Structure 1
Amino acid sequence: MELDFTFDTYKKLLKGFIDNNYHFQTFSAYLKNPKDRVVILRHDVDRLPANSLEFARIQSDIGISGSYYFRSRKKGWDEDEIKQINNLGHEIGYHYENLSRIVKKLKSYHDINQILNYGLKDFETQLTSLRQLVPVETICMHGAPTSRYDNKNLWGKYKYSDFNIIGEPYFDLDFSTVFYLTDTGRRWDGFNFSIRDKINGQQKYWREKGMVFKSSFDLIDALNQNVLPPKIMITFHPQRWNHLNIDWCKELIFQNIKNPIKWALINFRRKKVLIT
C-alpha cells in the first residue's frame, strides 16, 4: 500500500502536474511574468532544513524551481543548506515572524506602536542576515499559532517595499483566481486546524466547487480528471515529508496530537471574540 507524505509520493505528485501540462514558477518569477497554467511552488522551512534540501534536489533533477522561506531560528536555519538550495536554482525568501518573536523577548508591557517599531527593526536585522548569504526578493509570514500577534500586521503600519521586497503571498496574490493548497496539518484539507495559514472566504468558495482534497492521492486523481483550476499556489512544509522510516512515523504521531490542540485553540479564540 502506498503511503502519503513520503518523498516517493511527493515525486508522483509533481509528475502529476507535469503530465497535465502545468508549469512551475517561484513566487518572484510569477510576480514578474505569470504563466497561464501554473503552480507557484512554495516551501515554508520551519525546521529540518535537510528535508528542504532533498526537496530542492528532487525538483532540480526534473528541471523545476520553487521558493523556500527560511525562519531565523536554529531549527530551520542552516547557512550551508540555504546556499545549496539557492545554487540549485531555487528562490530563497524570508519566513518572517517578527511581531510574535519580539513579544517573547519583551520583559515588560509595551503598546502596539512600540511592538511594531521593535518588530520592524528585528525584520530588518534578520532580512539583512539572510541577504548576506543569498539574494532575497520576497517574504512570507510564519503563522506562529501560539502567539496572539499576527505577523502580517507589521505591514499595516510599514511597507515591505521599502526593503526592496517585491511581494508577500498573502498581500500580492489574487486568491479569487489562484487556488491555494497547503499541507498544513499533514493533510490537504487541514484548514480547520490552521490558525493563520488560510485565506478568508476562499475555503468556502472552493469547497462549494468540490475542490477539497484530503490526501496527495486525491490531488493526483483530480489532476488526471482535469478538474483543478489553472492557477495554483501550493505550500509544502518539507519537515512533514520523509522516507518511510522512523521520522515519517514521528511526524505522523506529532501531527495527530497537534491538530486537535490547534482546533481547540481556534475555537477558544472564536468564542472569546464572541463573548467580548
Structure 2
Amino acid sequence: MNQQTFVEKLGYFLRTILFVIICTVFIFLLLWTFCYSLHVFYLFLATLIFAIFSYFRKKNRKFITITLLSGIALFVISTPYNLRQYNNHAAAFQDQINRGYHLQFKEKCAIYGTLLIVITGDIIPFPEASIQNFYLLFPKDSKTRIFYDDDFLQAPDIQKMMHLKGKNSVAWNKWGERFNGNFRFAAAFDPCTLEITDEGDHKKATLVTYFNYRKNYTTHNANHVLNGLFAFRIDEGLFWYLEHEGWLHPYNSVWIAKIKK
C-alpha cells in the first residue's frame, strides 16, 4: 500500500466516522424532540424523510450528510423557541409528579434523554459532574464507585482544608460559586466530606459524596443572557423521579487523590 492509497483510505474512514456521528446525533434529537413533544420534531421528521428519499434516488453520502446537518442547524437556530417549549413541558412534568401522578413511558424517555444531553454538555466544563451523571445510568450492587483523580484538589475551598486532619464536611452554595474556582467541583460534589490522612511521604485526600438528585428542586439558567432569550430550567425533581422509578441509580461517589507532603 503506497502513501496515496493509505491517505485515501484514512480519509474515507474519517468521513465514515463523521457520517455515523452526524446520523447518531440526528436520530437522538429526532427521538428526544418527539418524546418532549417539541414542534421542531416535525422539522427533523421532514428532513429524515427527505434524506431517505434522496438515498433511494441514489444521492451520494455527501448530499445526505449536508441534508442532515441542515436539519441540525435549523434546530440550533430555533433554540430560543425550542427552549421555551422545553421549559413549559418540563414544568408540566414536574407539576404532574408533585400532584402524585405517574409519567408515561414517552415522558420518562424525554427526561432520560435530557440527562444524556447534560452528560455530553458537561464533559468539558464540568468533567466530574459528567462522569458521575454517566454512572447514574448503570446499577451497581455495592452502590459505591471509586475514582482516582487529583483534579478536585484544585478547588480553593479544598485547598484550604488540606492541612486539616480527619474527616470534615464541605458544603457549597452551588450556584453561588459560579464565578470562582469552586464552581466546577461544587457542581459535582455539593455536599461532600473530605478526609485527610498520612501515608508515609504522601497525604491521601478522600472525598465522598452521595450522588443523587433532589426532590422538586429546579434551577433557572441563562436568565440574563440576551434578556432571557436562552433561559432554560434544569428540574432535578425529574431526575429524582427517574431514580425512584429505577431508571437512574444513585450511589456513593468516592474520589481519592495522593499528594506529596
Output the TM-score relative to the length of structure 2: 0.28
Output the TM-score relative to the length of structure 1: 0.27
More strand as a share of residues: 2
More helix as a share of residues: 2
Structure with more relative contact order (C-alpha pairs < 8 Å, separation 6 or more): 1
